[in-house]
């Protein structure tokens, strides 16, 4: 994941997977939330109100394997 002012980019196996550069929140003006400190959470979450959400009868094996995570500080831009 690369987090810069105005944009977040996610990578999977070294390839760009998703870019988010548009966001709106009534809590704060742009560039929120891109201008705040964040942390990274790795989890396997199931459920919610999305289409096809599982119920108590749903059976599924679930496993999340993370080979590695690299964290580094981006050099300050002039």
CA neighbor of 35 nearest in space, from 9, 4, 10, 72: 4
Predicted pLDDT at 77: 66
Cα gap 7→9, rounded to integer Å:
7
> Of all helices (H) and strands (E), which one includes residue 7?
strand 7-12
Predicted confidence (pLDDT) at residue 78 exceeds the cutoff of 90: no
Q: Does residue 34 contact residue 1 with C-beta atoms inside 8 Å?
A: no
| Tens-place pLDDT, residues 3-57 | 887 788 998 888 999 998 877 778 877 777 777 777 888 887 777 776 677 778 8
Predicted confidence (pLDDT) at residue 60 exceeds the cutoff of 90: no
Predicted confidence (pLDDT) at residue 65 exceeds the cutoff of 90: no
């Amino acid at each position: 994941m690369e987090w810069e002012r105005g944009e977040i980019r996610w990578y999977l196996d070294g390839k760009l997977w998703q870019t988010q550069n548009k966001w709106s929140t009534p809590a704060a003006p742009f560039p929120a939330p891109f201008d705040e400190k964040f942390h990274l959470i790795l989890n396997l979450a199931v459920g919610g109100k999305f289409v096809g959400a599982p119920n108590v009868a749903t059976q599924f094996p679930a496993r999340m394997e993370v080979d590695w995570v690299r964290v580094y500080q981006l050099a300050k831009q002039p």
